Amino acid sequence: MQRALGLFHSHPRWAALLCGAVAATGFEPLHLTLLALLGLTGLIDLVSRAPTWKAAALIGWLFGVGHFTTGNTWIATAFTYQAAMPVWLGWIAVVLLSFYLAVYPLLAAVAAWRLGRANLGATILAFAGCWIVSEWLRAWIFTGFAWNPLAAIALGPFGSPGFASVLPLTGTYALSGIVILFAGSVLIALRKGKVNWRGAVLLLVPIVLLTNPLRLSPSSPAPGNGPAVTLVQPNIPQDQLNDPAMFPRNFTRLAALSAPRQPGQQRLLLWPESGVPDYLRDGYPERFYLDNVGADPGIARKRLGMIAGPGTVLMTGAVDLEIKDDNAVGARNVVTAVGSGGDIVGSYAKAHLVPYGEYLPMRALLTPLGLSRLVPGDIDFWPGPGPQTLDLGQWGRPGVQICYEIIFSGQVVDRAARPQFLFNPSNDGWFGASGPPQHLAQARLRAIEEGLPVLRATTTGISAVIEPSGVVRQWVPRHKAGRIDGTIPPARQATLFAKLGNKLALVWATLFLVASVVASRRSRS
């Protein structure tokens, strides 16, 4: 053991890289929480021993490279599908992205080293506060990439929220800081021996008393509550989804899975992103309808209404066009709600688009370099106005978050018109093996912190009904065609986070940073 620790401390750069990879094992599908905490413990130990701020910065950056490369392996698969490029180029994209994302652990490490001033307790508290700020910054700088916050490590299995039940009082980014505190408490105990278990416990007791996860985990609502709903997962492989030759077969599969269980059944019917290839809006030049699948938009909508059945509303992913001078100048990734008569009763346009996936930044500059291949087609998707709440009458007031929009804490709900549930249609077929379970985990985080049920309909899985407690009530596994018939769980009262958003997380960050300064000054007095 002593020899291993000696090697660990004598090679801090390699140790930091290893700790980052180990910390990422706490995410799905491995979900090795204790191992992840040890990786974070190693990071805090290395930073606290760093002789200079530059050494602490390098440790933080190398940790981030190992952490984000291991946690974002699904991007290699996504990159290949999206750009039709070699697999090896996708892996280069993963590493290059991790080089950038690693800047955020670097910033947290440098700030913690400076604020801690060689006092371990102060360093841990500073690390927790700075990590909260770094994840918050990562979620919005350059449009943001909030994938895999440390808070996801605190989630329990499908039937339990785990320690993530504290999210209504913290928000995701603050819970990530609390995860750092847990790792720091392990370091205190291990560094000074059993006699200092008391110090480790004292570090966590105030947090447990303030959040009280047991009090925040009431029993789940009865399955019989709420409007009837059917979620459909067609299991259409990604390489067939956008193939025009497969459109009729794909549509037939969706329709067969959507049939009412009994005559006259009325429900809210939910299809995934990329649900229909037809343009459902009127008013485009005729050639766009012919070039697509040849369906008149009115006929296409009536066909959807017939599939849904009388009294049913169908919400499906689709594409709208922006037309100027008879030419398409842009597109919108939308969810369109269609009534049984074929009328559009609601619509939402995706606001948080994926750069290099749905649009090409600096297109005029990058196209001559051949990088237009990163985004299929000649036009970009345009963003919608932001979170909206639709009014579907007897089927409630849904908020819609398309695909990866659901990962952005504090950005998924129209706070002026709180919805009754969130609908998260997605195309997860290009997310590889680890992406779909990680995506589901982050949808569970949104459900808990907002106090809202989340309904996920995906092309290939994992589709699910998530209760406001974070419990997954029903689901369809990956690579399996199926449907979920049930009811929409009732929403909870607006949580503290639902009222304050990420201001609440920044309050927690401030508390930890102030406590760090106090601890540091007391150690010097």
The pLDDT tens digits for 297-317 are: 988 999 999 999 999 999 999
Same domain assignment for residues 192 and 250: no
pLDDT at residue 293, as a whole number:
52
Same domain assignment for residues 372 and 465: yes
Res. 273: pLDDT tops 50: yes
Confidence bin at 370 (pLDDT 50/70/90): very low
Asked whether residue 223 is domain-assigned, the answer is: no
Q: What average pLDDT does the segment 283-287 reach?
A: 86
Closest CA to 235 of 480, 11, 56, 40: 480
User: Measured between alpha carbons, how far is residue 514 from residues 207, 303, 511 in Å?
Assistant: 15, 61, 5
pLDDT, greater one: 79 or 171: 171
Asked whether residue 29 is domain-assigned, the answer is: yes
pLDDT, greater one: 378 or 322: 322
How many structural domains comprise the chain? 2
Q: Which of 53-57, 382-386, 418-422 has the lowest mean pLDDT?
A: 382-386
Asked whether residue 282 is domain-assigned, the answer is: yes
**CATH number for position 455:** 3.60.110.10
Same domain assignment for residues 480 and 372: yes
User: What are the CB-based long-range contacts (under 8 Å, 24+) for 45-49?
Assistant: 45/187, 45/191, 46/9, 46/12, 46/15, 46/16, 46/19, 47/109, 47/112, 47/113, 47/123, 47/127, 48/113, 48/116, 48/118, 48/120, 48/123, 48/187, 49/9, 49/12
Backbone torsions φ then ψ of 229, nearest 5 degrees: -145, 145
Same domain assignment for residues 118 and 141: yes
pTM over the 0.85 mark = yes
Range of the domain at 188: 2-218+502-524
pLDDT tens by residue, 217-250: 554 555 556 799 999 999 998 888 888 888 889 9
Q: What is the largest CA-CA distance in the chain?
A: 79
**Percent of residues, the chain, with pLDDT higher than 70:** 84
Q: What average pLDDT does the segment 330-343 reach?
A: 94
CA distance 422 to 389: 9
pLDDT at residue 369, as a whole number:
43
Confidence bin at 191 (pLDDT 50/70/90): confident
- The H helix count followed by the E strand count for the chain is 19, 11
Same domain assignment for residues 262 and 399: yes
Same domain assignment for residues 71 and 151: yes
Confidence bin at 520 (pLDDT 50/70/90): confident
Question: From its phi and psi, is residue 324 left (phi > 0), alpha (psi between -120 and 50) or beta?
Answer: beta
Same domain assignment for residues 181 and 42: yes
Confidence bin at 381 (pLDDT 50/70/90): confident
pLDDT, greater one: 334 or 211: 334
User: Measured between alpha carbons, how far is residue 187 from residues 107, 164, 165 in Å?
Assistant: 21, 22, 25
Asked whether residue 494 is domain-assigned, the answer is: no
Res. 195: pLDDT tops 50: no
pLDDT tens by residue, 315-324: 999 999 999 9
User: Peptide bond preceding 188: is omega within 30 degrees of 0, i.e. cis?
Assistant: no
Res. 337: pLDDT tops 50: yes
Closest CA to 44 of 129, 112, 137, 130: 112
CA distance 64 to 130: 14
Confidence bin at 208 (pLDDT 50/70/90): low
Same domain assignment for residues 242 and 180: no
Asked whether residue 495 is domain-assigned, the answer is: no
CB 20 within 8 A of CB 63: yes
Same domain assignment for residues 196 and 271: no
Q: Quote the mean pLDDT of the chain.
A: 87
Asked whether residue 454 is domain-assigned, the answer is: yes
Backbone torsions φ then ψ of 359, nearest 5 degrees: -155, 155
pLDDT tens by residue, 61-116: 999 999 999 999 998 887 776 555 667 777 888 999 999 999 999 999 999 999 98
CA distance 171 to 503: 9
Res. 414: pLDDT tops 80: yes
Same domain assignment for residues 336 and 405: yes
Q: What average pLDDT does the segment 331-338 reach?
A: 95
Same domain assignment for residues 9 and 42: yes
User: Peptide bond preceding 29: is omega within 30 degrees of 0, i.e. cis?
Assistant: yes
pLDDT tens by residue, 118-150: 788 899 999 999 999 999 999 999 889 999 999
Asked whether residue 426 is domain-assigned, the answer is: yes
pLDDT, greater one: 296 or 46: 46
pLDDT at residue 85, as a whole number:
62
pLDDT at residue 521, as a whole number:
77
**Percent of residues, the chain, with pLDDT higher than 90:** 65
Same domain assignment for residues 64 and 191: yes
Task: Fill in the amino acid letter for 117.
Answer: R
Torsional sign, CA 121, 50, 114, 207: negative
Asked whether residue 446 is domain-assigned, the answer is: yes
Res. 172: pLDDT tops 50: yes
